[in-house]
Structure 1
């Protein structure tokens, strides 16, 4: 009985622990989702604000807003492209490491330009603007290079896969149309067979050539009755007379 109670207690503890673990995971996932939503909303608001400033403000302030918008747009697009490609291509993990280092420089530059937006000394802002523009162009060029390299690699893989798939489909289509690959009729590909040789002439049986003409005539002549000499037959001196039969 005590063993049964111990097993039930152990199962209860396991169920409680599993429920707590699932709850913590769910709360963490929900918190990350909320944080992601808030970050994305804040980013969207800031991008719209920068776009409005770049259009509404003139001079160094307007150009500064344009530089920030250009930097953020390029870095975000590169980040999305690399993360999407790394899920299928292990070679992009090294590119992700390089982008993380580049992203550190981008965040530092973006923070510096954000602080300069509230700078009251416009002369100082105008003086520092060429250096900010050069750094922005360098970071954007590097980010664009990584992004387009990742896209070209993905497109190359897609083209290779399409070529392989097309070749396999061609082979399968040929196999399905197997009747079109059979040999054509003999009349279309091979010359007609020669005429059969004439059978050898049979030996003549009743009619022969000219050397046997007399025999042929004899054979063809109708049978005539034998000529019977008239009675009495003549007797010739050299013929012997028949002996009379002896009588007793």
Structure 2
């Protein structure tokens, strides 16, 4: 009887530990998914497609704001890894991002608004603010692109000149080789070659 009780107690402990481990693992995964930008963005885009009316418009504004801020982050990452302009762009983008995050909080609050008239009034103001942030990010991206374009234009011009030089040298070497090969075929006398047109 003691043996059966011991086995049952051991099984109960194993089941309790297993359930606890599974619960903790599921909670960890759920927390990671909630913090993930990609998952959060996908959920927000799906909600914006499904929702209608003023709430749907608020969700679409949130999607537009989020995508704009992500494109600004991507532009700064490109500038940081390349030889592009840096200067105060990072500091300016942090300010834009801070304003965008505050605006996103306001939009989230608007989602829970129950008064349709109040929501309609606030939509115009919020839409204007979202457009301002999108325009600021667009201008920042243009500055990064202009800086990268200048570097790329100079590098491509130098590369073009190097390639032209190498092609000319290779062409001259091939002509000289042909001249020598024709000289061997004629018994040691090189035959003059007309320059290529």
Q: Could you list the runs of 5+ residues in structure 1 that have no partner in the other structure?
A: 1-33, 189-248
* Partners of 2:83 and 2:151 within 8 A in 1: no
For 2:5, the equivalent position in structure 1 comes to none
Matched, 1:173 2:175: no
Structure with the largest fraction of helix: 2
Contact 1:83 1:96 in 2 (8 A): no
Q: Could you list the per-position Cα deviations for residues 75-96 of structure 1 after superposition, in whole angstroms to 9, with x for gaps in the alignment?
A: 1111111122123336323111
Pick the aligned partner of 1:145 from 118, 134, 139: 139
TM-score using structure 1 length: 0.54
Return the alpha-carbon distance in structure 2 between the equivalents of residues 98 and 40 of structure 1: 28
Mapping of residues 94-113 of structure 1, within 5 Å:
94-113=88-107
Equivalent residue runs for 1:225-236 within 5 Å: none
Per the alignment, residue 115 of structure 1 pairs with 109
Find 1:52's aligned residue among 46, 55, 60: 46
Determine helix, strand or coil for the equivalent of 2:87.
helix
For the 8 Å contact 2:84–2:148, the answer to whether it is kept is no
Q: Distance in 1 between matches of 2:105 and 2:172?
A: 68
Conservation of the 8 A alpha-carbon contact between 1:60 and 1:125 = yes
Structure-2 separation of matches of 1:144 and 1:113 = 21
Partner of 2:150: 156
2:56 matched to 1:62? Answer: yes
Q: Deviations over 1:140-194 (max 9, x none)?
A: 0110111133123323322321221110121122223335599xx6xx9xxxxxx
CA distance in 2, matches of 1:124, 1:88: 47
| Structure 2 Cα separation of the partners of residues 44 and 66 of structure 1 | 16
- Distance, in Å, in 1 between the alignment partners of 2:157 and 2:50 is 51
2:50/2:56 contact within 8 Å kept: yes
User: 2:76 matched to which residue of 1?
Assistant: 82
Structure 2: runs of 5 or more not aligned: 1-27, 180-191
How many residues matched? 152
Q: Which has the higher contact order (CA 8 A, sep 6+)?
A: 2
Alpha-carbon distance change, 90 to 155 in structure 1, aligned in 2, over 3 angstroms = closer
